[in-house]
Amino acid sequence: MTIIAIATAALLLGAAPEPAPAPAPAPTAPAERFAERSFEPATDQRRVCVIDTIGGPGMARRYCQSRADWVAQGTDPLAIRQ
């Protein structure tokens, strides 16, 4: 019994402690990541939907394309209007 206790103590004392985990990098806010991107209208592949209500109430149609497709057709629905 004494030999088992000594062997167990030797194993526990000889084991190296695990190194502390490296700290995780600070997360960036989604708004900051979005602001870092530059969206060129001619190559932007985000989906943009436009709702057309010319037909009257209850007749609305929704048209969805990439922003690059809208710009190729001569319309930029995300352009800032002044």
Q: Are strands 61-66 and 47-52 parallel, antiparallel or unpaired?
A: antiparallel
Instruction: Output phi, psi for 44, to 5 deg.
Output: -70, 125
Q: What is the DSSP string of 2-69?
A: HHHHHHHHHHHHHSPPPPPPPPPPPPPPHHHHHHH----TTT---EEEEEE-TT-TT--EEEEEEHHH
Dmax (CA) of the chain: 93
- What's residue 44's pLDDT? 81
Give the three-class secondary structure for 9: helix
- What's residue 32's pLDDT? 67
pLDDT in tens, 10-65: 666 665 667 778 887 777 676 666 666 667 878 888 888 988 887 777 788 889 99
- What's residue 24's pLDDT? 79
- What's residue 5's pLDDT? 73
